[in-house]
Amino acid sequence: MRLISGIKPSGSLTLGNYLGAIKNFVKLQDELKDTDILIFIADLHAITIPQDKVNLRKNIKDIAALYIACGLDPNRTHIFIQSEVPAHNQLGWIMECNSYIGELERMTQFKDKKAKQVQGVSAGLLTYPPLMAADILLYDANLVPVGIDQKQHLEMARNLAERFNHIYGDTFVVPEPYIPKTGEKIKSLSDPSKKMSKSDDDEKGCICLLDDLNIIKKKIKSAVTDSDTKIKYDLTNKPGISNLLTIYSCITGMAIKDIEAKYIDSNYAQFKADLAELVANEIKGIQDKYNDLIKSKELDAILDAGKDYANYLANRKITKIYNKVGLGRKR
């Protein structure tokens, strides 16, 4: 069994990335003892939207350090940077050549990002899913933990694997998504109708793992709720408070029903104050470890080891794929 997933360094990591993705990577790492685990930093995906090169480099290193600070164990999980494994691009191109423009244009994320883009929309934004398929299929990964918003891209990776296997013969493992039950979509604190995203310009809506702890508390205390007073999970009528309950549940592991019962006689201010403390405490632990790691030589050594292992697997696979497609000379 092999598990793979990644996060793109398109900004500073958010509480959404942590609760919807990284916390699950860690849980799976600890549960799936016999599984080979690869977690990468998807820097090639980040440049589908224009990035400042200094920020991009910082975000890449930050994510690597945060992966470990959040609990990924480099002795158990291979951590690497996508652009340091050229076979991702090689297979990405083959996947693009097996994708249809119509199906790419139908992807929700492409439509959303295209709508938000003020300047020209890059071709890379359209061909993001075939590259993501390559990221997964290159390693014959069975299991891909992602948030619900990435489910459509994963479906596309499955389709591309099946399409390729049909044309060229059995080559790829068809991957399964793994979507966590709670915390699958953490919403913006200022507009709970939209997802909390690291590239969101609205700073109040988003908690970054590297935010000052007092600012984190303030953001939670001023999160948008409603004019009612009951602490009750109701996505339609109380999206703000439902989002805060989801965050509370993800941090503590408590069931939403039990949290509702705990706060039955309480008010929003008390609930938010408690949640602010919980989140700040959790993030403090992460920041302490991050601060130790970020300037250390250890981080580069971990990324070098991850790069070597990923290149070893990926190069073996790409040779087989080139032979199946008939590219170059037989190797």
195 is catalytic: yes
Tokens, residue 54: 């200094």
* Distance of alpha carbon 154 from alpha carbon 133, whole angstroms: 7
- Give yes or no: 185 in active site: no
List the Cα angle 163/35/44 in 5-degree steps: 55
CA distance 241 to 13: 23
Task: Single out the residue of 199, 266, 319, 323 in contact with ligand AQP (rule: CB under 6 A).
Answer: 199
Q: With contacts defined by CB under 6 A, name the span among 14-22, 78-86, 152-160, 214-222 that binds ligand AQP.
A: 14-22
Least Å from the CB of residue 151 to ligand AQP: 8
For residue 113, indicate whether it is catalytic.
yes
Can you tell me which of 198, 238, 307, 317 binds ligand AQP, judged by CB under 6 A? 198
- Cα dist. 17→20, 205, 207 in Å? 5, 14, 10
Nearest to 38 by CA among 7, 65, 62, 70: 7
Among residues 8, 187, 195, 238, the one annotated as catalytic is: 195
Rounded to a whole number of angstroms, the minimum distance from the CB of residue 206 to ligand AQP is: 9
Closest CA to 186 of 163, 209, 165, 152: 209
If one asks whether residue 14 binds ligand AQP (CB under 6 A), the answer comes out as yes
Of the residues 190, 197, 242, 287, which one makes contact with ligand AQP according to CB under 6 A? 197
Whole-angstrom Cα distance, residue 258 to residue 263? 9
Would you say 189 or 313 has its CB closer to ligand AQP? 189
Q: Which spans in the chain are helix H?
A: 15-17, 23-31, 43-46, 53-69, 87-97, 101-105, 108-116, 123-126, 128-137, 151-168, 213-221, 239-252, 256-262, 268-293, 297-325
**What x-and-dash track marks residues 22-51 binding ligand AQP by CB under 6 A?**
--------------------x---------
Question: Is 219 among the residues that bind ligand AQP (CB under 6 A)?
Answer: no
The answer to the question of residue 112 lying near ligand AQP (CB under 6 A) is: no
Q: What is the CA radius of gyration of the chain?
A: 21
Candidates 64, 70, 107, 186; binder of ligand AQP (CB under 6 A) is 186
Phi, psi of 176 (to 5 degrees): -105, 140
Give the residue with the Cβ less far from ligand AQP, 91 or 125. Answer: 125
Tell me which of 61, 113, 187, 272 is the catalytic residue.
113
The site for ligand AQP (CB under 6 A) is made up of 7-8, 10-11, 14, 16-17, 20-21, 42, 146-147, 149-150, 185-186, 195-199
Which residues have a catalytic role annotated?
113, 195, 198
